[in-house]
Structure 1
Amino acid sequence: MVDVVENLVEARARIDAACARVGRDPGEVELLPVSKTHPDEAVRAAAGAGYRRFGENRPQELARRTAALGDLSLSWVAIGRIQSNKAKLIAEYAAELQSLDSVALAEALERRLAALGRRLTVLVQVNTSGEEAKAGFQPEEMMDAVAALSRFPHLDVRGLMTMAAHTSDATAIRHSFATLRSLRDQLQAVHGPRISALSMGMSGDFELAVEEGSTCVRLGSVIFGARPNPA
């Protein structure tokens, strides 16, 4: 039986230690539990430990979790690749989208958000590893992409997100994270400090991400254990 609360304490301690190694304030780094495919009881355990924001990668789960866990007043962060035809679910149920990877998706979200009278915080996904299998804007597209997104009044761009290179090479992983930090700094020089978030780091590499400036690590298996087999 996975001890969710113990795992959260241990992961938080690892984040804090990574911050100490590079002289960062641990308060700058959010631990975002990624609850995808895990049972509602596991989410309740994490909520009991004080966590109120959770990551989900399936838009239909945002709706179901909102209903099933409505007594907890949780916020849901959409992660993973989102198809434009799921924009309605994101617009209705997500407090934040961390994987905005195209202007087409932004257009679909804008229409849905305008109809609902809502604004949505978004992080723009960047493919910093150069791997074809990964979604996101290319680094050289970032300045133009964020400028294009500024025409959508219901989207509030607050930062960037990436997934590191799929490798055991720590140097390559750090390069992915350092690239995102550099892009964020370039954006801030033009758009100001409000574009500050860096969502980078998952269960296998989050300590490196924290050392390279991450403000949000997305932790699934290290908190909730291996994903259950799909039914």
Structure 2
Amino acid sequence: MTSIKHNLQQVQQRISAAAAQCGRCPQEITLLAVSKTKPASAIEEAVAAGQHCFGENYVQEGVDKIQLLANPDLVWHFIGPLQSNKSRLVAENFDWCHTVDRLRIAERLSQQRPDPLPPLNVLIQINISAEQSKSGIMLAELPALAQQIAALPRLKLRGLMAIPAPQDDYASQLAVCQQMAAAFKQLQQQYPGVDTLSLGMSDDMDAAIAAGSNMVRIGTAIFGARDYVSAAATHNN
């Protein structure tokens, strides 16, 4: 049985290889370890191996882990769909929210972010493949929402996130990722604080890095297959 430490090393090697392939520095790319459905003990194993950024999809499960581990060195990213009735928990506990796709949620996060904490880092989710089953806005809606979010006092607009539809071939993956990268560069020109493009998972990470992603979200390759059955009993998103 391979260890989480070994898996992390393998993923980091893959990131380095993908970066080298397109002339980028591997240090530009943040590895976000997606720890949904995994116990706190697995996260502790990853921390011992040098991993500090973790992504959670389910609000209550994530909050439970944040409070249980209580490690100020860890950076917690909420990367799942966010319902209005759970926004306070995200505002009070997480460092980042990747899935802002409407002004109402952004306003709630800003209002509910505690004053002693730094502003909540937010990414606007783009539905780049126009899938009805996925959250996110169309690219045409981005300028208006970005302007509204940038004006909110307890949020810090950091960039964009997307989950492209699965594509079998690299060329198709790259084309979609390049669309996201172009939108990201345009946003950077208007907002100096924008510095994060959260794009790329296990299947399309190479194309995402080639296009310019600087944050990839990897779960199963680090922690192994997810147990959704037992996890369903422990969270309610």
Interval containing the TM-score (normalised by the shorter chain): over 0.9
Aligned to 1:112: 112
1:191 Cα deviation (Å)? 2.1
Query: In structure 1, what is the equivalent of residue 216 of structure 2?
Result: 217
Deviates more, 1:170-179 or 1:67-76: 67-76
Secondary structure of 1:68's match? helix
TM-score normalised per structure 1 = 0.94
- How far apart are 1:166 and its partner, in Å? 2.2
- Measured after TM superposition, the shift of residue 151 of structure 1 is 2.1
Structure 1 residue ranges without an equivalent (≥5): none
Calculate percent identity across the aligned residue pairs.
36
- Counterpart contact for 2:29–2:216, Cα < 8 Å: yes
Separation in 1, partners of 2:76, 2:55:
6
Equivalent positions of 1:77-92 (< 5 A) are 77-92=77-92
Structure 1 ranges of 4+ moved more than 4 A: 114-118
1:145-165 Cα deviation digits (max 9, x unpaired): 101112211110011101112
Residue in 1 aligned with 2:204?
205
Whole-angstrom distance in 1 between the partners of 2:215 and 2:84? 25
Distance 1:201 1:189, change over 3 A: same
CA separation of 1:171 and 1:22: change in aligned 2, threshold 3 A: same
Which digits, 9 at most, give the CA deviation of each residue in 1:167-188, with x for residues without a partner?
A: 3233332222111110011112
Matched with 1:37 is 37
What's the CA shift for 1:71? 4.8
Alignment of 1:138-149 (within 5 A): 138-149=138-149
Residues 48-86 of structure 1 deviation map (CA, whole Å, 9 limit, x = unaligned): 011111000111122210222125742211001111111
Structure 1 180/71 Cα, relative in aligned 2: closer, same or farther at 3 Å?
A: closer
| RMSD, aligned α-carbons | 1.6
Residue 188 of structure 2 is matched in structure 1 by 188
Query: Tell me, what secondary structure is at the counterpart of 1:230?
Result: helix
Distance in structure 2 (CA, Å) of the matches to 1:170 and 1:129: 16
Using the TM superposition, give the Cα deviation of residue 2 of structure 1 relative to its aligned residue in structure 2, in angstroms.
4.3
For residues 212 and 54 of structure 1, what CA distance do their matches in structure 2 show?
23
- Structure 2: gaps (5+ residues): 231-237
Which residues of 2 match residues 49-128 of structure 1 at below 5 A?
49-71=49-71, 73-113=73-113, 118-128=118-128
Mapped partners of 2:71, 2:153: distance in 1: 31
Change (3 A) 1:229 1:160: closer
Q: SS in structure 1 opposite 2:113?
A: helix
Q: 1:223 is matched by which residue type in structure 2? A: I
Amino acid at match of 2:12: R
Aligned length: 230
What amino acid maps onto 2:199 in structure 1?
A: M
Q: 1:3 to 1:185 in 2, by over 3 A?
A: same
TM-score, normalization by structure 2: 0.92
- 1:28 is aligned to 2:28: yes
